[in-house]
Each structure stands twice: as structure tokens, then as C-alpha cells.
């Protein structure tokens, strides 16, 4: 069993009560009911976590995957279908594991890569897609590269097969069009297997001649066709995986099964992205791009409005582009295909659509917005990507997004604030564009509104001051294994995240001496009242936001000493001292900023 054996570090704090409760449910649930527990957690609904808190859960997941791999002999090709509960459990485990890697620190603890290697042999398209998505997230973290590269020799052949071009006459975009096009259908009535038997032999088999039971499930049809072709053409075992996948792709097109076609297309995109992470530039060019040199431009074509691609496929494209941007040879081509520097490009079209309605629910689902955010973060940190975004006019869009007030938009708004922070710190022209879009006033107003709303939420909670009664120095996780004290989040996780990113953005701005001419009038806005309110409610805002409020207050006086009387009139110093005298928040940021 591949278990996480690393000891928990001594300074590990307690997880919020909500995380603790979910962890206990997952530890106590039977294997067949894990998917029921996770059914209500398709999105990350907590503050940023620590993978140390999830060690026991990840070990449980590892045991489940190991049992499935052994039961269904996934050391080779899968011969029998998963039962319904097993399939749902695997999909739920893989999905939630990916959420943990995207939203927790200490991600290097994850050590179930060898289980994912076994799950690549599955015949279930949904399990295969979830496995590839999790593999992509692990491959994007440098600390997993050693584990993945240890299995690279075994994985690369299957990943290459999954990423192989489909040779569709109209190109990749046609594979996402609704319905079955004549050219596509006629072309996919044949598929090709290349194998070595006394030289290079190419076998062409029409799908109509496979002789499979059309009333059986897709996976069973694939197995029937595989067995017949292996027996008829004496296909070596080394090519069985490739043959099985080609049969599955051909059946997806020939039967007009659009959902299966989309699933296979997403898997293909994820597999190519994983290869781009595991291989260096030259290897990736030789083994993949030499056969499909326009792959990056082709998948970006799927994002065009006229392609009418499902959002799930567009999500896969953005996840793959995040990885492909790390291949230097693909960067310039990706930017050209995206028309990244133009205000009318496909990327700006998507961003405008995502952040248009201020008081309405998001137009895109959580998965899409997460993939878009990770891509934009990678682009902002990659070569000239940040400058291209700014020149295309992304800053005014992000500033308008700071005004979004719908409850389902809070996490996206926090991510926008973080992206603005990235762009301002990495691109010189961003701050001027930010000021030109009235960004400072918008930021201060949103901070004020969110702080007042947080205080209102806190006052409505009768137990909001329970943290004030706890000891100054709380016991750490190891000293109290029974976890007698559990911290409860008073505010929703999305609101905490938004407040933290807004305060962090302003904190970084006031720390830059070159920006002070534009920030000189901050003390004349609602900011002093906002800071005073935040400092007066340490239990509601938590240590991170409380520490940032102290830091901003200090920097305002440091940058402009004449603002001290205004700060004093707002009662900021006395409010802070009164609260610290009553209770010292258990947080290193607070201690450092004091």
C-alpha cells in the first residue's frame, strides 16, 4: 500500500470545524457510501487548507484504489466492467483528490501516483478522464515530478496513445460539433492499427464489420471487437491498449454518441497536457508535436464561439493550455491563436462574458472558472503574457469584476483581486491602467462593503465570540490528538477568501513607494473606518485579515506621517490596543505586524 507516512509537523494548527466534520465522515463511511458523502462537495467550499489535515482520508482513498486495482486486475487491460457503486466511488475519490491538490498547501504529500498508473488501464471512459485530470494536476507540481518520472517509461506509451490524433478530415473542431457530420462519420467508419508483424503492417477495419452486439454497453462492445481482432490478426499484446482505444474512438463516432465523444476528446487533451509536463521540450516535440504540430492552435480553436463547444471541453482546453505554456516552443503560437494582445480576441470575449453581470449568478460553472483562473495565473507569470493581457484591456474588466456582489461570485471576485495583484507586481503598466479604471476607489469601496457585511453576519451569530474565550496560546494538533478545541469559521469561506485577497492587494499597493503619489488620499476615503471596524472584530475576520489590517494602518502612517491625526480620529490605535489587551489572535501574521 502506498500510504503517506510523513509525520505531521509540530506547528500544524487545527483545521476549521467544517473540514474536521467532513474528514470524520469520510473516515467513518463505508467504501460504497464514500461517493454519497462527497456528492455535496463537487466544489471547494472551505478556506485554503493543508494536506496534512487530510492524510488519513488520502490513505483511505489509496486503500480503496488499491483494492479496486487488485479486484479488477488493472495491472493489465480491464476485463470486466466496474459495478455501479465502484465506478461512482472512483470518480468521487479522483475528483475530490484533485480539489485537495488545487486548494491545499503541502501538496507534495500526495503519494498515490502508482494507483493512477493502474487506473490508466481502465475501460471506463469517465474513470479514465478523472484519472487523467488528477495526473495533470500532479504533473504540474514540480514535487511530484520524481514520482511521475519513475513511472514515465510505463505511462508514456499509454499517454501517447490517448493523445494520438484522430485524423478527422475537418480537424479537431469538428469533433465537438453537435450531431454526426457526414465527412466525420464516413471517415470514422474506418480506424487504423499500426503493428509490427514481419515489418510495418497497417490494418484497416470498417466499424460495420466488427460484428459486435449493438445491444451491449460500449465497454462490452469494445472488448468483443478487441478479442475478435486480436484473434484474427494475431495482434501482439504490446499493441492491445492502442487497439482498444482506437476501437472505442471509432465506435464513439460511428454510433453518434456525442457524450462519449466529448469524454474521449477531453481525455485526449488531458493526456497531451500530461505529456507536456513529463517531457522536456525536445522530447515533447519529437514524440507528440511532430505528429500534430498544430495541436495548441487546434484546441484553442475549440474556444471560438462558432465552434459551439461544450463548457466541459473548453474547461479541458484551459487546463491543458496552462501546461502547454511551459513548453517554450508553444508559447508564441498559443498567444497568436488566442489573439491575446487584441481587445477583440477570443480570450477577451470569454472574460467579458464571465464578468459582465454584476448582480447575477456566474455565467460559467465553477470548474470552468477555476480552469480559467489557473490559466490566467500561469499566463501572467509566463514571459510576456502579463503585458499582453494588460495591453488587451483586461484591467478594466477585472476592476468591474470587483463590483460583483452575488453570493456565487465571491470566490471568482477574490481570484480577480489576486490576479490584479499578480499583474501589478509583475507588469509596470498595470498600476496606471488600474488607476485609470478607477481601481483604487473601487477596491476601497468593496473592502468597506464587505467588512460591514461581515460584521453583520458575525453579529447575527450568537457564538461569534467563542474564540475570545479560548486561551491565548492554543494547543497544536499533535499535543491534543483528541482535538478538544475546534475552530469554527464564522464567515462563509468564500467571503473570507474575498476579504483576504482584497486586503492583501491593498497591502501590497501601500508597500510600494513608487505608488504613493496615487495613494496619498486614501486616508480621506472610507478606508480608516474600514480598518477600525476590522480591528474591532478579531473573532469575525480571523488572524490573517486582522494582521493585514494592522499592516495597512502602519504603512499609511509610515508613507504619509501627516495622516496620523486622521488615523487617530478614526480610533484605529486605541481600538487595536483594546482588542489586543482582551485577546491576542493566535496567528503569526498578527504577531509579526504588531
pLDDT digits (tens, 9 = 90+) for 224-278: 888 888 888 888 888 899 889 988 988 888 888 889 999 999 999 999 999 998 8
Q: Express each pLDDT in 32-54 by its tens digit.
A: 999 999 999 999 988 888 898 89
pLDDT mean across residues, the chain: 84
Q: Which residues contact 9 (CB under 8 A, 6 or more apart)?
A: 52
In the numeric block, which cell numbers belong to residue 523? 486616508
**Short-list 187, 431, 160, 415, CA closest to 279:** 160
3-state secondary structure of 249: helix
In the numeric block, which cell numbers belong to residue 245? 482505444
- The domain spans of the chain are 17-150, 438-593
Q: What CA–CA distances, in Å, run from 558 to 150, 424, 509, 567, 591?
A: 52, 21, 13, 12, 19
Burial grade of 1 (CB within 10 A; 0-12, 13-18, 19 or more): exposed
Handedness of CA 142, 147, 153, 154 (dihedral sign): negative
Q: Express each pLDDT in 160-207 by its tens digit.
A: 999 988 866 556 666 676 444 444 444 444 444 434 343 445 667 777
Per-residue pLDDT, 22: 93
- The total of other beta-carbon atoms located within 10 Å of residue 85's CB is 15
Mean pLDDT of 445-451: 96
Q: What is the DSSP letter of 80?
A: S
**Short-list 340, 157, 301, 147, CA closest to 240:** 157
CA–CA dist 316, 116 (Å, integer): 19
Q: What CA–CA distances, in Å, run from 360 to 185, 354, 453, 487?
A: 41, 11, 18, 32
Task: Please calculate the CA angle 378-47-434 and round it to the nearest 5 degrees.
Answer: 45
Assessment of whether the complete model's pTM goes beyond 0.85 = yes
Amino acid at each position: 500500500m502506498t500510504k503517506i507516512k510523513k509525520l505531521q509537523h509540530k506547528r500544524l494548527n487545527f483545521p476549521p470545524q467544517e473540514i474536521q466534520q467532513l474528514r470524520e465522515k469520510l473516515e467513518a463511511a463505508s467504501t460504497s457510501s464514500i461517493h454519497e458523502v462527497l456528492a455535496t462537495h463537487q466544489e471547494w467550499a472551505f478556506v485554503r487548507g493543508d494536506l496534512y489535515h487530510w492524510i488519513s482520508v488520502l490513505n483511505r482513498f489509496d486503500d480503496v484504489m488499491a483494492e479496486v486495482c487488485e479486484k479488477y486486475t488493472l495491472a493489465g487491460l480491464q476485463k470486466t466492467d466496474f459495478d455501479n457503486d465502484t465506478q461512482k466511488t472512483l470518480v468521487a475519490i479522483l475528483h475530490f483528490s484533485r480539489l485537495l491538490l488545487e486548494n491545499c498547501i503541502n501538496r507534495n504529500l500526495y503519494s498515490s501516483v502508482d494507483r493512477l498508473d493502474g487506473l490508466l488501464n481502465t475501460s471506463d471512459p469517465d474513470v479514465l478522464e478523472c484519472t487523467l485530470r488528477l495526473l495533470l494536476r500532479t504533473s504540474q507540481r514540480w514535487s511530484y515530478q520524481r514520482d511521475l518520472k519513475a513511472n514515465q517509461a510505463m505511462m508514456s506509451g499509454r499517454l501517447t496513445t490517448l493523445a494520438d490524433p484522430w485524423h478527422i478530415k475537418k480537424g479537431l473542431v469538428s469533433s465537438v460539433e453537435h450531431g454526426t457530420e457526414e465527412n466525420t462519420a464516413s471517415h470514422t467508419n474506418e480506424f487504423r492499427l499500426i503493428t509490427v508483424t514481419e515489418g510495418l503492417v497497417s490494418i484497416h477495419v470498417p466499424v460495420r464489420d466488427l460484428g459486435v452486439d449493438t445491444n451491449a454497453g460500449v465497454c462490452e462492445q469494445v472488448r468483443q471487437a478487441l478479442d475478435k481482432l486480436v484473434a484474427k490478426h494475431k495482434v501482439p499484446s504490446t499493441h492491445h491498449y492502442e487497439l482498444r482505444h482506437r476501437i472505442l474512438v471509432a465506435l464513439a463516432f460511428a454510433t453518434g454518441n456525442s457524450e462519449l465523444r466529448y469524454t474521449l476528446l477531453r481525455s485526449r487533451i488531458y493526456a497531451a497536457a500530461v505529456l507536456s509536463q513529463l517531457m522536456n521540450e525536445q522530447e515533447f516535440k519529437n514524440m507528440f508535436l511532430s505528429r500534430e504540430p498544430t495541436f495548441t492552435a487546434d484546441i484553442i480553436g475549440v474556444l471560438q464561439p462558432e465552434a459551439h463547444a461544450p463548457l466541459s471541453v473548453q474547461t479541458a482546453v484551459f487546463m491543458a493550455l496552462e501546461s502547454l505554456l511551459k513548453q517554450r516552443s508553444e508559447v508564441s503560437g498559443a498567444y497568436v491563436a488566442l489573439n491575446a494582445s487584441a481587445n477583440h480576441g477570443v480570450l477577451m470575449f470569454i472574460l467579458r462574458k464571465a464578468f459582465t453581470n454584476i448582480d447575477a449568478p456566474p455565467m460559467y460553472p465553477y470548474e470552468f472558472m477555476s480552469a480559467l483562473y489557473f490559466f490566467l495565473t500561469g499566463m501572467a507569470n509566463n514571459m510576456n503574457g502579463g503585458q499582453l493581457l494588460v495591453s488587451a484591456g483586461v484591467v478594466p474588466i477585472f476592476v468591474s469584476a470587483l463590483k460583483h456582489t452575488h453570493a456565487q461570485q465571491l470566490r471568482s471576485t477574490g481570484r480577480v483581486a489576486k490576479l490584479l495583484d499578480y499583474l501589478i507586481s509583475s507588469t509596470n503598466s498595470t498600476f496606471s491602467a488600474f488607476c485609470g479604471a478607477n481601481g483604487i476607489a473601487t477596491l476601497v469601496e468593496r473592502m468597506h462593503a464587505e467588512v460591514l457585511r461581515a460584521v453583520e453576519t458575525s453579529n447575527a451569530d450568537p457564538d461569534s465570540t467563542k474564540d475570545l474565550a479560548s486561551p491565548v496560546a492554543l494547543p497544536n494538533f499533535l499535543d491534543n490528538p483528541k482535538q478538544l478545541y475546534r475552530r469554527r469559521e464564522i464567515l462563509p469561506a468564500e467571503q473570507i477568501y474575498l476579504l483576504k485577497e482584497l486586503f492583501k492587494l491593498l497591502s501590497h499597493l501601500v508597500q510600494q513607494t513608487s505608488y504613493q503619489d496615487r495613494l496619498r488620499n486614501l486616508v480621506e476615503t472610507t478606508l480608516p473606518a474600514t480598518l477600525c471596524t476590522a480591528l474591532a472584530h478579531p473573532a469575525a475576520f480571523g488572524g490573517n485579515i486582522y494582521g493585514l489590517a494592522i499592516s495597512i494602518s502602519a504603512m499609511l502612517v509610515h508613507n504619509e506621517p501627516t495622516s496620523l491625526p486622521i488615523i487617530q480620529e478614526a480610533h484605529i490605535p486605541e481600538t487595536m490596543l483594546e482588542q489586543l489587551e482582551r485577546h491576542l489572535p493566535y496567528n503569526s501574521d498578527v504577531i509579526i505586524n504588531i
